[in-house]
Structure 1
Amino acid sequence: MSAGMPRSGRSARETAGLAARLVVAGVIIATSCALSGALAPGALASPQTQISAASEQTLETMLTADQGAARTDPAVRADEISRRFLGTPYGADTLVGSATEPEQLVVNLQRVDCFTYADYVEALKRADTREQFLASLIDVRYKDGVVAFQNRRHFFTDWAASAPAVATDVTSSVSAHAIPVTKNLNRKDSGGAYLAGLPVVARTVSYIPSGQVDSDVVGRLRTGDYLGAYAEDGGLDVTHVGIFIATPDGPVFRNASSRSADDKVVDTPLSGYLRTVPGLVVLRPVV
């Protein structure tokens, strides 16, 4: 599990604020880095940016390509940016940090899982430069802009439930058949916690049963909406995340798939995907 700023026309005051946030976060740019010395568990001091030379090059390429999409509408921008990841290999456990290991700001564009894929797409949507991307990634991945394991948005609905909000939960507004369920996130139904060192969070999660996702519901979705596969376990909100894209050939679920037949970012026909999950949670990005 892992899991806004204007994209253009940034004022001098906004630029100064961006630089200040990067300094406060203690971001240190390096092609390969590791924290040196021992830090106390959960320490917030000087998190580093872990980014490879290959990811640096990919980021530069994507940001350059994004200049052409900088003035388009949000749906077009979401489609264009997310499409650039198609074919990127699936890779789990790329983030660094735990209750006992200091958090690092990881940028790995060579391998993504469903949550980090969403992180990078959303951060790229908000950025025209490398510095804006890093600052946006902090805002997207972490609560209150603090790079720390305890502040990481580990659950999909954290994007809507914690500040600064990345998205709005529109599940109930796109379907009258949405079902609210009270969950205790991070507490397994079988006992124990999913993530050690993190509290249990009570939250009402609404989902649309897959059988109720008809043409009317699909018609209310927008390209760029984030779709979560509803989890039946009371300790999880969703089990998988992807992006809704309306294409000329029909709606697709663009996602970093761990299926052996895929093992990369792919476009999966939404109708087929719905047959494999209990239902959908829909979050609409705020930018």
Structure 2
Amino acid sequence: MSVFLISSAPLDVQNYRTVIDETSKEKINKIILSEVIPLAGKSHGSIVSSVSSSFLGTPYQAGTLTGNLNTPEALVVNFNGVDCFVLADYVEALSRSHDQKTFLYNLVKIRYVNNKVDYLSRRHFFSDWFASTPRIARDVTPEISPNYIVTEKHLNRTSKGGEYIPGLGVIPRKINYIPQQFINEQVVNNLKIGDYVGIYSPLEGLDVSHVGIIVRHDNKTWFRNASSLAINKKVVDSPFMSYVHSKPGIIVLRAD
């Protein structure tokens, strides 16, 4: 059963609802104690890798966040089921935290522009992590490969001229991405553990179609992601090169 709390946003006097269940509360504390605190002093990417390992096997579940134009937004914490974007939110927030209170603080900062818990302030696009404030990560795509391409997007605009997120408006944005044909061993070597990788979308109104995290084990590079594929339906590690082989390209963000 969910617990409903009235909270204040960390950086202003805004009030909002926090929705969190007891299982998620327990997992927050467990992950911080076992995966974050012991790695104090290590690289942020190492902490991201360790924290994200705690979600392996978590069921894939879309639509866990609460809020739309007609429903007030709530700060949702639900570790029982995640999609790819929510997984990234949780992992990054946990990686910066030392207890439940700081986790909630960081989750607001990561999930919402200017720390405002509101549907239209939610970071709906992967590139919002570097293009809106406060900035969550750097776009390091140009550092990963000299063969990156810059493209002009009109995010949130559908092919029929409508909006994917009604009321958000159309967002002009330059997007850097590495086309699939240039994703080679050099690119893999330039990726760092804990990098967030978005699968580039050729649709004008979208930046990516999926998001995952770079991890390394068993002498291989893996794409840790909340997979909606019927054979998975959970958080898994997919071989990176095999995964991106048939994809249009990648965008790489680094939180450090």
Please tell me whether residue 126 in structure 1 is matched to residue 67 in structure 2: no
- Amino acid of the structure 2 residue aligned with 1:224: G
Paired position in structure 2 for 1:72: 42
1:33 partner SS: strand
Paired position in structure 2 for 1:56: 25
Q: CA deviation at 1:191?
A: 3.1
Q: CA deviation at 1:34?
A: 8.5
May I ask how many residue pairs the two structures share in their alignment? 249
Paired position in structure 1 for 2:250: 280
Q: CA deviation at 1:149?
A: 1.0
Q: CA deviation at 1:67?
A: 2.0
Q: CA deviation at 1:73?
A: 2.2
Task: Tell me, yes or no, if the aligned pair for 2:25 and 2:100 is still in contact at 8 Å.
Answer: no
Aligned residue runs from structure 1 range 111-150, under 5 A = 111-150=81-120
- Label 1:45 to 1:144 Cα distance change in 2 as closer, same or farther (>3 A): closer
2:3 partner SS: coil
Query: In 1, distance between residues paired with 2:154 and 2:208?
Result: 13
Q: CA deviation at 1:151?
A: 1.0
Identity of aligned residues (%): 41
- Amino acid of the structure 2 residue aligned with 1:140: I
Paired position in structure 2 for 1:256: 226
Please tell me whether residue 107 in structure 1 is matched to residue 77 in structure 2: yes
Query: In 1, distance between residues paired with 2:175 and 2:148?
Result: 10
Query: In 2, distance between residues paired with 1:166 and 1:230?
Result: 19
Q: CA deviation at 1:246?
A: 2.4
- Amino acid of the structure 2 residue aligned with 1:84: S
- Amino acid of the structure 2 residue aligned with 1:33: F
Q: CA deviation at 1:53?
A: 1.3
Unaligned runs of 5+ in 1: 1-29, 36-43
Any idea what the Cα deviations from partners look like across 1:36-62, whole Å, max 9, x if unmatched?
Answer: xxxxxxxx9621110011111111211
Task: Tell me, yes or no, if the aligned pair for 1:222 and 1:246 is still in contact at 8 Å.
Answer: no
RMSD: 1.6
Please tell me whether residue 195 in structure 1 is matched to residue 165 in structure 2: yes
Match of residue 224, structure 1, among 163, 188, 194: 194
Moved over 4 A (4+): none
Paired position in structure 2 for 1:33: 4
Query: In 2, distance between residues paired with 1:263 and 1:164?
Result: 32
Query: In 2, distance between residues paired with 1:34 and 1:163?
Result: 26
TM score, norm. by length of structure 2:
0.93
Query: In 1, distance between residues paired with 2:97 and 2:104?
Result: 9
Which one has a larger percent strand, Structure 1 or Structure 2? 2
Select between 117-126 and 140-149 the one with higher mean Cα deviation.
Answer: 140-149
Match of residue 215, structure 1, among 164, 185, 193: 185
Query: In 2, distance between residues paired with 1:257 and 1:34?
Result: 31
Any idea what the Cα deviations from partners look like across 1:231-262, whole Å, max 9, x if unmatched?
Answer: 01100000000001122331110000000101
Please tell me whether residue 240 in structure 1 is matched to residue 240 in structure 2: no
Query: In 1, distance between residues paired with 2:176 and 2:42?
Result: 31
TM score, norm. by length of structure 1:
0.83
